[in-house]
Structure 1
Amino acid sequence: DLFLFHYSFDHPHILAGQGSLGLEVLDQVPDVDAILVPTGGGGLLAGIAVAVKSLNPRVQIISVESERASGFYASTKAGHPVFTECQSTLADGLAVPLIGANAYATAAPLVDKVVCVSEEYIAIAILRLVEMEKAVVEGAGATGLAAVLQGLLPELKGKKVVIPLCGGNIDTTVLGRVLERGLVADKRLLKVWLTVSDRPGSLAQMCKLFSTAGASVKDIYHERAWLKSDMFSVQIQVVLEVRDSEHAAELTRIISETYEHVQFYNENAQ
């Protein structure tokens, strides 16, 4: 018996089949201005680019990758496929170290722009899709929305853009962690350490302050043994749920004005 092996990422027949997604887009959204395509091995990008550009050359085809797995971006800079070391990323479905030769040769002349998104905005994109679309999408499938949320494509404002949500293969335990990371990145979780007097009523007074400001206490932890201040003080670590970045800024101001010894979590210092 004879068997025919088709390389699942780079065989011309596979690329052609993936181009059917582009045909569906043109059929359902004939006046589309741009399509944001998640890119790993490049097969989906190549197929969509050929199908769409052959029927409507004015449609922009934009490749989207993770900053931690940017093989197509590196290859376009070099002018040929190059090996790119991939780091751990939420978009693990796109973590392909070497783009396919056929995919690159097909897609490179047709792609209008290549952008790379941060892990922070991939997490926010997954969160947005769960909250607003009630859709569970893996990191690779959320990169297109992440590019928009990160502000990498300002030229598309006011235009009709299609973002394929290609992939829902995300582990439930990972999803929970990603959603929390998304809330932190979206400035909707605020972490603060503050030192208060270790006497009856201090904790109630602190919680009343948070409640009055419209924040909910998600987590709280007391530290007495490793505190270097006086014996009658306690350090409290609190995680607060807030509405948005403006609410977080307002709460930060209120806490800073109320307590002398305060430290807020700074993601940029990590």
Structure 2
Amino acid sequence: MQSLSLNREKDNLVAMLRFQEYEHTTVDTEGAMGLAAILAGQLPELKGKRVAVVVASANMELDLVRECVDRALVLDDHVSRFSVQLGDGPGDMAKLLNILAREDVRLLDICHRRYSDRVDLFKVQVECVVELRDKSQNCHLRRMLSDLYPTLRWLDR
């Protein structure tokens, strides 16, 4: 029962995101329920048919809308988090940032830890949160960085 509830939450949040991406409309999770059911495949009898989705939505606090969108971006693989050990020499951090820039990845957050019990004396631990266009860019970035950095770890949602 718990996973069904989590799946519904994910479906609703991703449907909210789709409304923003394609319709440039902000709706709350209740307003997105109809689209969520269709996107989740819960209404197979509608496949291939033209369907109108009624969007009835109550007012939602702007901060809560932002939290929902942020969570939906993570659930829909638009946001990823990874950790990697880099050398502590000049240019090592710049190399990683240049790769992210070349791949058109938006850096949301970065944490650079020089002193850690898990890092060698001449290494630094870097944790990044990045925003990507879609799942295919996410997969491409994961493959490419994994090939370049053997210490790379993708962190769970």
Q: Same fold (TM over 0.5)?
A: yes
Match of 2:95 among 186, 190, 205: 205
Distance 2:74 2:134 in 1: 10
State yes or no: 1:191 paired with 2:59: no
- Residue equivalent to 2:27: 137
Which TM-score applies when normalising by structure 2? 0.89
Counterpart residue type for residue 40 of structure 2: Q
Distance 2:124 2:117 in 1: 7
What does 1:1-270 align with in structure 2 at a 5 Å threshold?
Answer: 67-68=4-5, 118-267=8-157
- Residue equivalent to 1:111: none
1:132-183 deviation line (CA, Å, top 9, x unaligned): 2222211111111111222222331111323221114211111111111111
Counterpart residue type for residue 76 of structure 2: D
Distance 1:236 1:155 in 2: 48
Give the CA deviation at 1:258.
0.4
Question: Identity of aligned pairs, percent?
Answer: 31
Counterpart residue type for residue 233 of structure 1: K
Distance 1:225 1:182 in 2: 34
The structure number with the bigger radius of gyration is 1
Give the CA deviation at 1:227.
4.0
| Partner-residue secondary structure (3-state), 2:136 | helix
Contact 1:136 1:168 survives alignment (8 Å):
no
Distance 1:227 1:261 in 2: 15
Count of aligned positions = 154
Distance 1:205 1:237 in 2: 15
| Partner-residue secondary structure (3-state), 2:81 | strand
Which TM-score applies when normalising by structure 1? 0.54
Distance 2:39 2:155 in 1: 23
Distance 2:144 2:40 in 1: 29
Counterparts in 2 of 1:144 and 1:128: CA distance versus 1, 3 Å: same
Contact 1:217 1:238 survives alignment (8 Å):
yes
Gaps of 5+ in 1: 1-66, 69-88, 90-116
Give the CA deviation at 1:265.
2.3
Counterparts in 2 of 1:242 and 1:227: CA distance versus 1, 3 Å: farther
1:209-249 deviation line (CA, Å, top 9, x unaligned): 11222212121111233341211111111111211111100
Aligned-pair Cα RMSD in Å: 1.7
Task: Pick which of 162-171 and 249-258 moved more.
Answer: 162-171
